Chain A
Amino acid sequence: MNRLGELERAIMDVLWEAQEPLTVREVSGQLTERDLAHTTVMTVLDRLAKKGFARREREGRAWRYRAAESREGYVTELMLSALAQTGDRQAALARFVRSVSGSEAQALWRALQALGGAIRG
């Protein structure tokens, strides 16, 4: 991953951990990489806001940033789109195997057992 991508990710991690909206300075303070220029952090936060991952609000003279949605929310979106059974989202990705339920799943479990596979999970 490129440098900018790593920074975006590190900053999102800070925003996800935070209980309340943070200023640029507070974000800088919580990054493991300490010697980043103030403007660099601000630029990345602006990029994240443009992409819709961060929201910003004015407080006095400073902007405060928070994550637009929780990490779990984004993971759910990712998985829902990956597990979609129909439509364009399904067509966009190639799934290893469609999961099944009911009698077909039971038959698969039986087959697995017949193969001598230990049943885990």
Chain B
Amino acid sequence: MAVIAIGCVQAAAWLAAARWPRRSPVVAIVLWQAIGLGWGLAAVGTLLGLAASRQRYGVAGDALAQVARFLRSPGTFSGWTVLATARLAALTAGLVLLTLLCWVLLAAATAGLRARQRQRLLLSLLAHGDPKVPGALVVDHPVAAAYCLPGLRSAIVISAGTLDLLDARELAAVLAHERAHLRERHDLVLLPFVALLRAFRWSRAAREAHRAVALLIEMHADDRARRHRPARELATALLRVGAAGGGHAPSGALSAVDTAMDDDVDGEVAARVSRLLRPAPGLPVPVLVLIGIAAAVAVAVPAALLVVPF
């Protein structure tokens, strides 16, 4: 179990650094979910496994039996030897971790709901429609911003700054991108990683995982938008809105003579733009199948170890 938990963290680091997920964001997102779930099961399983003195019902069953025995007669609990105390500590840690993971998921979901509710309330008083962006809400603010509020009563919000910055075709590309987020409930896909970040804010692995999944989701929404709109319009929209945050164009950049997208440019916006303009072919089917198997193994093995005696 411990090996699997460490393996999941290792796999996550490798996956975060890899380039291939950008070619097929969907399977990569599935793999991320599997690794995340697998890690959770294995980490809880490791602690519970340490606690189990007898292997009879599988790790989860043994841990439950241990709890039941302790609750029935705490005084006579295998005597307070060093080993028994260590077991009790591991059992407690396992249950605490399990509770924490469930709790942060709930807390992240609640916090998201509350923030969106406040947004909806403010939008109902402040936002208005605009024929340039049918179906979206416009907020009169000069900063370029475009986002969506996922949920049952979803909304796409565009700032007046964005309306000024983009032309009609670029706006349509932005709307197509946001609609993909809403239609496929990408907020729920990201939620476990938001929760993980909440629980382990200090952890580099949690931050990297969250960042990687968020980027893959954006790339997937770009792919969806590209089905309806030319990739180039989406790319220029990304560039304009992305760069608008840095203030006006620096005069040096205006006179720059670079003629191609700079490959050295690292950054998420640049990565999204370059794959829109120069799409790499999707991963071949056998590779996709292998990734699918890896994802299934990452969840199935720790889950089996939890319930099957060994």
Q: Contacts A78-B123, A101-B245, A106-B250; is A94 near B187 (CB within 8 Å)? A: yes
Indicate which residue in B139, B245, B261 contacts A79 across the interface (CB closer than 8 Å): B139
Q: Contacts A75-B141, A99-B242; is A93 near B126 (CB within 8 Å)? A: no
Indicate which residue in B111, B140, B145 contacts A88 across the interface (CB closer than 8 Å): B111
Q: Are A104 and B267 in contact (CB under 8 A)?
A: yes
Q: Which residues of B contact A111 (CB under 8 A)?
A: 239, 258, 261-262, 265, 270, 273
Q: What's the minimum C-beta distance from B291 to chain A, rounded to whole angstroms?
A: 25
Closest to B155 in A: A93
**How does the 8 Å CB contact mask read for B89-111 relative to A, with 1 for contact and 0 for none?**
00000000000000000001001
Q: What's the minimum C-beta distance from B120 to chain A, rounded to whole angstroms?
A: 10
Q: Contacts A92-B116, A110-B253; is A82 near B147 (CB within 8 Å)? A: yes
**How does the 8 Å CB contact mask read for B112-143 relative to A, with 1 for contact and 0 for none?**
11011011011111100000000000011101
Q: B249 within 8 Å of A by Cβ?
A: yes
Q: Which residues of A contact B145 (CB under 8 A)?
A: 79, 82-83, 95-96
A53–B253 Cα gap in the complex (Å)?
Answer: 45
Q: Are A74 and B125 in contact (CB under 8 A)?
A: yes
Indicate which residue in A5, A94, A121 contacts B164 across the interface (CB closer than 8 Å): A121
Q: B240 within 8 Å of A by Cβ?
A: yes
Q: What's the minimum C-beta distance from B167 to chain A, rounded to whole angstroms?
A: 8
Q: Are B236 and A115 in contact (CB under 8 A)?
A: yes
Q: Are B250 and A109 in contact (CB under 8 A)?
A: yes
Q: Which of B263-308 contact A (CB under 8 A)?
A: 265, 267-270, 272-273, 277
Q: Are B125 and A92 in contact (CB under 8 A)?
A: no
Q: Are A92 and B112 in contact (CB under 8 A)?
A: yes
What is the size, in residues, of chain B's interface with A at 8 Å between Cβ atoms? Answer: 76
Closest to A107 in B: B265
Q: Are B141 and A79 in contact (CB under 8 A)?
A: yes
Q: Which of A70-86 contact B (CB under 8 A)?
A: 71, 74-79, 81-83
Q: A105 within 8 Å of B by Cβ?
A: yes
A115–B258 Cα gap in the complex (Å)?
Answer: 10
Q: Which residues of A contact B269 (CB under 8 A)?
A: 97-98, 100, 104, 108
Q: Are A9 and B254 in contact (CB under 8 A)?
A: no
Q: What's the minimum C-beta distance from A34 to chain B, rounded to whole angstroms?
A: 22
Q: Which residues of B contact A99 (CB under 8 A)?
A: 144, 241-246
What is the size, in residues, of chain A's interface with B at 8 Å between Cβ atoms? Answer: 47
Q: What's the minimum C-beta distance from B140 to chain A, rounded to whole angstroms?
A: 7
Q: Which residues of A contact B272 (CB under 8 A)?
A: 97
Q: Are A91 and B111 in contact (CB under 8 A)?
A: yes
Residues in chain A within 8 A of chain B (CB atoms):
1, 5, 8-9, 12, 51, 53, 71, 74-79, 81-83, 88-89, 91-102, 104-115, 117, 119-121
Residues in chain B within 8 A of chain A (CB atoms):
108, 111-113, 115-116, 118-119, 121-126, 139-141, 143-150, 157, 159, 161, 164-165, 174, 177-178, 181, 186-187, 190-191, 194, 198, 217-218, 232, 235-250, 252-254, 256, 258-262, 265, 267-270, 272-273, 277
Can you list 14 A-B contacts (CB < 8 A)?
A8-B125, A76-B141, A77-B122, A78-B123, A91-B111, A91-B112, A94-B148, A96-B237, A100-B246, A108-B273, A109-B239, A109-B256, A113-B253, A115-B239
